[in-house]
Structure 1
Amino acid sequence: MNIEEGLTDLICFFEEFFIAHGMNEELAVYLNLLINLVALTLIVIGLNYLIKNFIIEAFKAFTNKTKTTLDDFLIKSNFPRYVGRFLPLFVVYKTFPLIFTDFPEVLTIFYKLVDIYVIILIVWICRSVLRSTRNYLKTREEFNDKPLESFSQIIMIFIWLIGFMFIFSRLFDRSVLGFAISLGAASAVILLIFKDTILGLVASIQVSVNDIVRIGDWITFEKYGADGTVTEINLATVKVQNWDNTYTTIPTYSLISDSFQNWRGMQESPGRRIKRSIFIKQNSVRFLNNEDIERFKRIRLIDSYLENRQTEIEKFNESNNVDKTLLINGRNQTNLGVFRKYIDSYLQEHSAIHKEMYLIVRHLAPTVNGIPLEILCFSRDKRWENFEYISADIFDHVIAAVPYFDLKLFESPSGDDVRSFLENIEEDSKNT
């Protein structure tokens, strides 16, 4: 006698016992069924207890001895528990048909439910492996800036989609291919319902493939009020921690549909750009005479420049018989040009400025506010607080240096300026 025959005799034992003692046959069948179901339930509970307290604990003890942390993440994601559920399922799958051998309708439903449970269990195991792999890769330095959350969500969506296709095909006794064809026919409705998810899926792929944004990037997205570091990228949203420690969530698809600023290039470059202007009053710009030049030669950073430049200008004017009784004739130096050279020399000597990157001091087109004198250079230190300190230090010096070159800064008149002007007029009228 084989195992299956012995198990069948054991299952029918109480039915035969009750009939032999005079019980109604139908009642004996249902009472035997109840006893077998209770026994099967106790066996399943016992197997679950065995898996939880011995097999899983043994797996934990094994992982504690290994060097890799991947198996630790497998335990946290319940991988051993999901795999262990196949053992009681196998027992139920083999025993249940013997218990309900006289109930074919029940067996039909049972086989469908078992198939669906197996599909769901496989999906859970795949999800557990995927989560464990994602969490493990997060501990690796080379994957710190990769959108692992987004990748795992994309893969999980495909796994669930395949799982649901198998589940529905089993429920309605249709082939997976036939169900996929039916799903394609309903694609318009699916696109409408899952529009945001699909947009996020496409955006996540494009963001990852084109390397648009990484975790740790500093981005500025004015539309959503985001200005800070990207902390998380998933299928639906990008999470940004702003500099005031608030958080802003941005739809993932907006990264490819809208314009935003990514500061990664600055962070990876040797320096951070300083680009600011001061405005010079136009009527304070003038030609320099010999007395002005001698006075400006006392400024250390431009003394040699003035000497060489003035010698060159004088040679040109002499060779061309220029009438210098009128200052405008021939070539001349201006206080604004000398001041521009002074700023350039000052930046060249500044230890915080990167000399191998652009360093430009230039005029922009005159405006109603004066002549913009723009400084464009790069600081060596890219940290925000130090960058602001360096920028402020440079412009403190530049603004303070303006009067030394007989120049004036443009500033819109305040109420005190207007009041002082009116008082002066009134005072002059009294004197006259």
Structure 2
Amino acid sequence: MFHDMAMTPDKIGEWLQHFKLGEDVAGNLGIIGAILYLCILALVANFLAKKLIEWVVHPVIRKTAIKLDDLLIDHHVIVHFSHLIPAAVIHFYAPVLFRNEPAVLSFIGLAVNTYLIIITLLVIDGLINFGRAVWESGPIGRRYPAKSYAQAAKLVINLIGLIFILSALLGKSPVVLFSGLGAVTAILLLIFKDAILGLVAGFQLSVNNMVMVGDWIEMPARGADGDIIDVSLTTVKVQNFDKTITTIPTYALISDSFKNWRGMSESGGRRIKRSLFIDMRTIRFADKDLLEHFKRIRLLRPYLEAKLEEIQEFNQGFGITMDELINGRRLTNIGTFRAYCLAYLRNHPKIHQEGMTLLVRQLAPGAQGLPLEIYVFTNDTAWVSYEDIQGDIFDHLLSVLPEFGLSPYQAPSGADLEKAGSMISRNESFAEYSS
């Protein structure tokens, strides 16, 4: 009865013969019509299956208390199963339509087998994406993303699927194709060189915890200075601070050197290492007037009380008279300024006071004066905040230099040279006039 109702090629051919078509032409058009009829049935079945999943299955999953199952919807895992319905329709209905056409039936069987392999690969890819999403939804997964491993698994599975598709099309056992795989290994290694190197590099990066998404890395050789936004099987994407994207081969992070700033972020402190260059012509002993001025600076009072007492005891112990500044031990304006810098930083609310280095030191004098280096760590690692803190500190220290009788070193500019030349010219003119 079901066969009588079906639009078989014979029925379509008989109907077309009423239009005075030849028997052969009508028969061929009947086969084409039956194939189109079967395709339409498959498409309708696929459409109904998808709507059933969207209207019934997905809402049930969304309403469950478990949130991880929502990832099945996001990665289209369940929707992929709807593609099995048209394959089932064709598999069971094709023998009814084409029981008198063994060649067509054989071709349809081959197409269905190939289609099922492709659908199976889609389902497996969806499951891999789902597994990766579940892993990365946890705290460990956010630190150690599995994208490169997921891509490697997809690559291997799709290659195996390709072999099964070829075996179905060629009518040979997959074992025969797998046995011949060794002959093309060299070609495969050449084609997938970057993928293989990336897989090995990705494994090393993960095991050694070298990089992860969100890390700030600096790799001048590759033009990268910014945050990692993606780590895949073959590439690592870095969004630079100017919002450009630099793409680095994954294996380059193993073969080349780079700087990872994650340690700074995790420590909670960011280093300031910058020098003030003092004009050495302004360095001198602190006389009585300068000492009185220093005593009015609140941050210096504890230092001055202890230091002056220590110096007085030393000088009295050796019977040193203080008639001349060069005799005995005395405070200097540069030493007192260094003590002020240290006291200022120890009272700064944005500077780490414990557990991290905090010092103010003199470096070797040079052509640019005497470098006084500030070496501290801020307690805010954000770039903008860090630059604000650093700027405020040096704004203050440069501004208070005159209070200590000191001047910063600055190389002569064009305006300075022009002013000096004008003075020399005026002096020469005055000398000529006087003579």
The structural deviation recorded for 1:385 is 2.1
8 Å CA contact retained: 1:270, 1:380: yes
Q: Deviations over 1:65-91 (max 9, x none)?
A: 323344444335443343133233234
Which residue number in structure 2 is paired with residue 227 of structure 1? 225
Which residue number in structure 2 is paired with residue 418 of structure 1? 417
State yes or no: 1:387 paired with 2:386. Answer: yes
Measured in 2, the distance between the counterparts of 1:46 and 1:298 equals 92
The structural deviation recorded for 1:278 is 0.9
Task: Call closer, same or farther: CA 1:336–1:165 in 2, change over 3 Å.
Answer: same
Matching residue's letter, 2:185: S
Which residue number in structure 2 is paired with residue 252 of structure 1? 250
Measured in 2, the distance between the counterparts of 1:27 and 1:280 equals 102
Measured in 2, the distance between the counterparts of 1:392 and 1:42 equals 72
Matching residue's letter, 2:255: S
8 Å CA contact retained: 1:225, 1:248: yes
Measured in 1, the distance between the counterparts of 2:420 and 2:31 equals 108
Task: Decide which of 313, 316, 320 is 2:314's aligned counterpart.
Answer: 316
Q: Deviations over 1:140-174 (max 9, x none)?
A: 56644443433432221122122123333444555
The structural deviation recorded for 1:128 is 1.9
Task: Call closer, same or farther: CA 1:88–1:32 in 2, change over 3 Å.
Answer: same
The structural deviation recorded for 1:413 is 0.3
Which residue number in structure 2 is paired with residue 365 of structure 1? 364
Task: Decide which of 288, 294, 314 is 1:296's aligned counterpart.
Answer: 294
Measured in 1, the distance between the counterparts of 2:71 and 2:319 equals 88
Task: Call closer, same or farther: CA 1:38–1:358 in 2, change over 3 Å.
Answer: closer
1:155-234 alignment runs, 5 A limit = 155-172=153-170, 176=174, 178-234=176-232
Which residue number in structure 2 is paired with residue 59 of structure 1? 57
8 Å CA contact retained: 1:100, 1:107: yes
Measured in 1, the distance between the counterparts of 2:176 and 2:330 equals 88
Matching residue's letter, 2:72: L
Which residue number in structure 2 is paired with residue 271 of structure 1? 269
The structural deviation recorded for 1:94 is 4.2
Measured in 2, the distance between the counterparts of 1:167 and 1:121 equals 12
TM-score for the superposition, normalised by structure 2: 0.81
Which residue number in structure 1 is paired with residue 17 of structure 2? none
Measured in 2, the distance between the counterparts of 1:408 and 1:7 equals 104
Task: Call closer, same or farther: CA 1:368–1:92 in 2, change over 3 Å.
Answer: same
Q: Deviations over 1:325-381 (max 9, x none)?
A: 664454343221111111001111112212112211011122211111110112222
Measured in 1, the distance between the counterparts of 2:33 and 2:406 equals 105
Task: Call closer, same or farther: CA 1:401–1:181 in 2, change over 3 Å.
Answer: farther
Name the Cα RMSD after superposition: 3.8
Task: Call closer, same or farther: CA 1:390–1:85 in 2, change over 3 Å.
Answer: closer
Task: Call closer, same or farther: CA 1:38–1:185 in 2, change over 3 Å.
Answer: closer
Which residue number in structure 2 is paired with residue 404 of structure 1? 403
8 Å CA contact retained: 1:288, 1:335: yes
SS, match of residue 355 in structure 1? coil
8 Å CA contact retained: 2:236, 2:249: yes
Which residue number in structure 2 is paired with residue 47 of structure 1? 45
8 Å CA contact retained: 1:220, 1:226: yes
Measured in 1, the distance between the counterparts of 2:88 and 2:365 equals 86
The structural deviation recorded for 1:414 is 0.7
Task: Call closer, same or farther: CA 1:369–1:90 in 2, change over 3 Å.
Answer: same
The structural deviation recorded for 1:404 is 1.9
Q: Between 102-111 and 162-171, report the one with greater CA deviation.
A: 102-111
Task: Call closer, same or farther: CA 1:85–1:415 in 2, change over 3 Å.
Answer: closer
Task: Call closer, same or farther: CA 1:364–1:34 in 2, change over 3 Å.
Answer: closer
What is the number of equivalent residue pairs in this alignment? 424
SS, match of residue 214 in structure 1? coil
Measured in 2, the distance between the counterparts of 1:397 and 1:11 equals 92
8 Å CA contact retained: 1:348, 1:355: yes
Q: Please list every run of 5 or more consecutive structure 1 residues that lacks an aligned counterpart in the other structure.
A: 1-5, 20-24
Measured in 2, the distance between the counterparts of 1:178 and 1:328 equals 98
SS, match of residue 331 in structure 1? coil
Matching residue's letter, 2:236: V
Which residue number in structure 1 is paired with residue 345 of structure 2? 347
8 Å CA contact retained: 1:344, 1:360: yes
SS, match of residue 186 in structure 1? helix
Measured in 2, the distance between the counterparts of 1:181 and 1:87 equals 34
Which residue number in structure 1 is paired with residue 91 of structure 2? 93
Which residue number in structure 1 is paired with residue 284 of structure 2? 286
Task: Call closer, same or farther: CA 1:331–1:87 in 2, change over 3 Å.
Answer: same
The structural deviation recorded for 1:411 is 0.5
Q: Between 137-146 and 200-209, report the one with greater CA deviation.
A: 137-146
Measured in 2, the distance between the counterparts of 1:218 and 1:128 equals 31
Which residue number in structure 2 is paired with residue 119 of structure 1? 117
Which residue number in structure 2 is paired with residue 3 of structure 1? none
Q: Between 371-380 and 104-113, report the one with greater CA deviation.
A: 104-113
8 Å CA contact retained: 1:12, 1:32: no
Matching residue's letter, 2:412: P
Measured in 2, the distance between the counterparts of 1:206 and 1:87 equals 43
Q: Deviations over 1:34-86 (max 9, x none)?
A: 78656644543443343233355322232233233444443354433431332
Q: Please list every run of 5 or more consecutive structure 2 residues that lacks an aligned counterpart in the other structure.
A: 15-22
8 Å CA contact retained: 1:147, 1:234: no
Measured in 1, the distance between the counterparts of 2:148 and 2:245 equals 19
Measured in 2, the distance between the counterparts of 1:232 and 1:286 equals 57
Q: Between 38-47 and 231-240, report the one with greater CA deviation.
A: 38-47
Measured in 1, the distance between the counterparts of 2:150 and 2:192 equals 18
Seq. identity, %: 40
Measured in 1, the distance between the counterparts of 2:24 and 2:298 equals 116
Measured in 2, the distance between the counterparts of 1:168 and 1:414 equals 77
Task: Call closer, same or farther: CA 1:321–1:188 in 2, change over 3 Å.
Answer: farther
TM-score for the superposition, normalised by structure 1: 0.82
Measured in 1, the distance between the counterparts of 2:129 and 2:119 equals 15
State yes or no: 1:80 paired with 2:66. Answer: no
8 Å CA contact retained: 2:98, 2:105: yes
Task: Call closer, same or farther: CA 1:31–1:259 in 2, change over 3 Å.
Answer: closer
Matching residue's letter, 1:123: L
8 Å CA contact retained: 2:9, 2:97: no
Measured in 2, the distance between the counterparts of 1:384 and 1:12 equals 72
